[in-house]
Amino acid sequence: MSEAGTFDTVRRGLSLSPELRSGLAGTVGLAVLQMSGRVAVPIAVQQGIDHGINGPSGPDPAVVAVVVALTLAALAISTLCGYLMTRRLFTVSETALGGLRSRTFRHIHDLSMLHQQSERRGSMVSRVTGDVDQISQFLQTGGVQLLLAGGQLIVSTVVMFAYSWQLTVVVLLSFGPAIGVIRFFQKRLAGAYRTVRERTGVMLGAVAESVVGATVIRAFGVSGRTARRLDTAVDDLRTAQQRAMRTSVLSFSSGEISAGLALSGVVVAGVLLGVDGDLTVGRLTAFLFLVTLFIQPVQIATEQLNEAQNAVAGWRRILDVLDVDPDVADPDDEGVELPAGPLSVRFDDVSFRYPGGPMVLSDVDLTLDARRKYAVVGETGSGKTTFAKLLTRLMDPAEGTVLLSGTPLTGVRFSSLRSRVVMVPQDGFLFDATVAENIRFAEPSLTDDQLRTAFTELGLGDWLAGLPAGLETAVGERGESLSVGERQLVALVRAYVADPDLLVLDEATSAVDPATEVRLQYALDLVTRGRTTVAIAHRLSTAESADEVIVVDAGRVVQRGPHARLVAEPDSIYAKLYASWLEQTR
């Protein structure tokens, strides 16, 4: 996490959400009007005392009544302004934050797979939820108060000056030391709250482990160990919270002490001034009221600045994500369309490595013809999945170029690329929705009849009919109401209706029950027909039925050719792989 300064973060955050500034002048104007209402009361007290109570002919309720009536009117206006101001502020800030949520959400989707994977999923979610909520919650409570406190501070200072500049200087001097103290604590508080957030993360991680790993923890009888880890995480968090609280209270106290100093300073200086005839009783009394109006915002500010630290931290984390360039970016208008018709593939001296890591794929140079079926095989970690990711432009090569029908992949507009090239990932991820909605994910315009036809065409009509609610069957979170094989079936239909010209299949490794397996193979056969197909194969049946097999070992293409020829090359890697497959199935 970068530790950009608070000011910097706020400035950048504001420039990212220009909506926040819209109508700001009006909002501030209303806030000032609201504040003026608060100052009206001390002024009323002064006027009441000097002209009503200490009037020339003794206490005069009539004068006081006029003063009170005028002040009540001012209060009413102030209250109304307060309502309008809060309403405006909420509408503007929540609209802006909603925009920020949406923008960050889109940005995360635009990030390359590499970046998406390097972040924990939970932390990506909190960029668009918890972190924005933190800003929103701050604005909802502290933000309003802080704004009003600022207004109150200014207005009360101005009125104090009007009554007596000498006493105002006394007040300001009393708060001088506090500002230094608060600044000192502010830094330590920022650190303390950072620790709290970090430990909250650790605590959540420990809880997640105890929940997700419940079965394993029980099976191995290690609940004692897990409980100890949980206790440590929970107590570490508590200690951090308490430390932050102590620092915050110390910081708050300095404001309180200044208040005492200011009050007594004003009395002493006021009496001395009054004796010289520079001040009336009413003015001094009003001043004491004003000092409380001055103290309140200072205290609120110290409180809310702490909260603000949290909000700024949330903002900073969002900016950190927005700062990450989508390195595998859509060329958009500068891009081109893929040429129509079947697609061929060319890898031109392609190498890939993860940043700072060793080469995963080296000097891959090959051409795949259109409309043919290819199987890429190799052991775990050989680089075959990387091959698929480069082919679909989920990642860009470190060196070399990937071309589809002669067009470099990096220059192809995503709208064209994603409609012509489709990948079926290993786990056949499904959304928590119905079967129909999951298929429509690829092609939203399809009618129910067209969906049913698609299933029938792939020989899955009976399977669909066997589902409890047919197309409307809910598949559950991540598709978990279906078996692994059935999830792959749905993912396959989804790819089928997308009607791509290049299909990339990352075969699932996990075992599928035989009946589903048969369906899967049949459907696969139909889906791949007439398209350029690249299957990352884990089954020998896929390799055998491919037009050509590409064997990857330690990041290099070591063999290539039809199954029958490769398997006959003695001692070749493919021959060994094939032998062990056979051993498994016979």
Partner 1 sequence: MTSGTGNDVLVRGLRVLGRAIRTEPRLFTISAIGSSFFGFLIIANSYVVGAVIGRVVVPAFSERRVSSGGLALTCAVLLGISGLRVASIWARRLGAGFMQFRLQARYRRAVTRRYLALPPEWHQRHATGTLLSNASSDVEAAFAPIAPLPFAVGTIVMIAGALVALFLTDWVLALVGVALFPALFALNFFYSRRMAPRQIHAQRMRAKVAAVAHESFDGALVVKTMGREADESRRFGVFVTELRDALVAVGRLRGVFDPLMESLPSVGTLAVLLIGTWRLQSGAITVTELISVAFLFTVLAFPVRAIGWVVGELPRSVAGWERVQAVLAAEGDLSYGTGDLPGTGPAELRFDRVDYRYADGPPVLSDVTFTVPAGTTVALVGATGSGKSTIAALAMRLVDPESGSVSLDDVKLPDLSAPALAAATGLVPQIPFVFDDTVRGNVALDRPEIDDDAVRAALRLAQAEGFVSALPDGLDTEVGERGTSLSGGQRQRLTLARALAGRPRLLVLDDATSAVDPRVEAAILGALRESGTSLLVVAYRRASIALADLVVYLHQGRVVATGTHTELMDSQPGYRDLVTAYEKADQ
Q: Please, what sign has the CA dihedral across residues 12, 15, 20, 21?
A: positive
Distance separating alpha carbons of residues 278 and 76, to the nearest angstrom: 33
5, two tokens: 């300064």
Q: How far is the CB of 314 from partner 1 (least distance, A)?
A: 14
Q: How far is the CB of 560 from partner 1 (least distance, A)?
A: 20
Residue 19 sits in the site that holds partner 1 (CB under 8 A) = no
CA distances from 366 to 479, 505, 538, 564 (A): 37, 19, 21, 20
Cα 239 to chain centroid, rounded = 28
Cβ proximity to partner 1, 6 vs 210, nearer residue? 210
Distance separating alpha carbons of residues 349 and 397, to the nearest angstrom: 10
Interaction residues for partner 1, span 444-483 (CB under 8 A): 444, 477-478, 483
| C-beta separation of 46 from 286 below 8 A | yes
Q: How far is the CB of 53 from partner 1 (least distance, A)?
A: 6
Type of residue numbered 423:
M
Q: How far is the CB of 369 from partner 1 (least distance, A)?
A: 23
Interaction residues for partner 1, span 85-124 (CB under 8 A): 85-87, 89-91, 94-95, 97-98, 101-102, 105-106, 108-110, 113, 116, 120-121, 124
Contact segment (CB under 8 A) with partner 1 among 33-41, 362-370, 525-533, 556-564 equals: 33-41
Interaction residues for partner 1, span 361-380 (CB under 8 A): 379-380
Mask 396-415, x = binds partner 1 (CB under 8 A)?
A: ------------------xx
Cβ proximity to partner 1, 6 vs 473, nearer residue? 473
Interaction residues for partner 1, span 291-310 (CB under 8 A): 292, 296
| C-beta separation of 113 from 385 below 8 A | no
Contact segment (CB under 8 A) with partner 1 among 66-74, 337-345, 399-407, 562-570 equals: 66-74
Q: Which of 17, 136, 156, 310 binds partner 1 (CB under 8 A)?
A: 136
Type of residue numbered 187:
K
176, two tokens: 């001088």
Mask 245-274, x = binds partner 1 (CB under 8 A)?
A: xx-xx--xx--xx-xxx-xx--xx-xxx-x
Q: How far is the CB of 349 from partner 1 (least distance, A)?
A: 25
321: number of Cβ within 10 Å: 18
Cβ proximity to partner 1, 373 vs 539, nearer residue? 539
Q: How far is the CB of 379 from partner 1 (least distance, A)?
A: 6
Cβ proximity to partner 1, 221 vs 355, nearer residue? 221
83: number of Cβ within 10 Å: 12
Distance separating alpha carbons of residues 409 and 109, to the nearest angstrom: 19
Interaction residues for partner 1, span 35-64 (CB under 8 A): 37-38, 40-41, 44-45, 48-49, 52-53, 58-61, 64
Q: How far is the CB of 171 from partner 1 (least distance, A)?
A: 14
Q: Which of 1, 3, 26, 129 binds partner 1 (CB under 8 A)?
A: 129
Contact segment (CB under 8 A) with partner 1 among 163-171, 180-188, 278-286, 398-406 equals: 278-286
Type of residue numbered 19:
E
Q: Please, what sign has the CA dihedral across residues 241, 243, 245, 251?
A: negative
509: number of Cβ within 10 Å: 10
All residues at 6 or more sequence positions from 559 whose CB lies less than 8 Å from its CB, including other chains: 549, 550, 551, 566, 569, 572, 573, 574
* Radius of gyration for the alpha carbons in the chain, expressed in angstroms and rounded: 35
Q: How far is the CB of 10 from partner 1 (least distance, A)?
A: 21
Q: How far is the CB of 492 from partner 1 (least distance, A)?
A: 13
Interaction residues for partner 1, span 492-551 (CB under 8 A): 494, 498, 509-518, 520-521, 539-541, 544
Q: Which of 83, 161, 165, 184 binds partner 1 (CB under 8 A)?
A: 83
Distance separating alpha carbons of residues 258 and 177, to the nearest angstrom: 8
Residue 65 sits in the site that holds partner 1 (CB under 8 A) = yes
DSSP assignment of 129-185: THHHHHHHHHIIIIIHHHHHHHHHHHHHHHHHHHH-HHHHHHHHHHHHHHHHHHHHH
Q: How far is the CB of 25 from partner 1 (least distance, A)?
A: 19
Interaction residues for partner 1, span 308-347 (CB under 8 A): none
Distance separating alpha carbons of residues 54 and 57, to the nearest angstrom: 8
Distance separating alpha carbons of residues 131 and 128, to the nearest angstrom: 6
Cβ proximity to partner 1, 45 vs 376, nearer residue? 45
Cβ-in-10-Å burial (0-12, 13-18, 19+) of 195 comes to middle
Q: How far is the CB of 202 from partner 1 (least distance, A)?
A: 10
Distance separating alpha carbons of residues 208 and 77, to the nearest angstrom: 53
Q: How far is the CB of 378 from partner 1 (least distance, A)?
A: 10
Q: How far is the CB of 176 from partner 1 (least distance, A)?
A: 16
| C-beta separation of 160 from 167 below 8 A | yes
Cβ proximity to partner 1, 82 vs 397, nearer residue? 82
Interaction residues for partner 1, span 211-250 (CB under 8 A): 211-223, 225-227, 230-231, 234-235, 237-238, 241-242, 245-246, 248-249
Of residues 131, 243, 253, 134, the one with CA closest to residue 190: 243
Cβ proximity to partner 1, 238 vs 529, nearer residue? 238
Interaction residues for partner 1, span 150-189 (CB under 8 A): none
Of residues 495, 362, 486, the one with CA closest to residue 425: 495
Q: How far is the CB of 198 from partner 1 (least distance, A)?
A: 15
Q: How far is the CB of 359 from partner 1 (least distance, A)?
A: 15
Cβ proximity to partner 1, 128 vs 345, nearer residue? 128
Distance separating alpha carbons of residues 327 and 98, to the nearest angstrom: 25
DSSP letter for 53, please: I
All residues at 6 or more sequence positions from 460 whose CB lies less than 8 Å from its CB, including other chains: 489, 493, 519, 523
Cβ proximity to partner 1, 21 vs 87, nearer residue? 87
Total of chain residues touching partner 1, rule CB under 8 A? 173
Q: Which of 340, 564, 571, 580 binds partner 1 (CB under 8 A)?
A: 580
Mask 550-579, x = binds partner 1 (CB under 8 A)?
A: --------------------------xx--
| C-beta separation of 290 from 159 below 8 A | yes
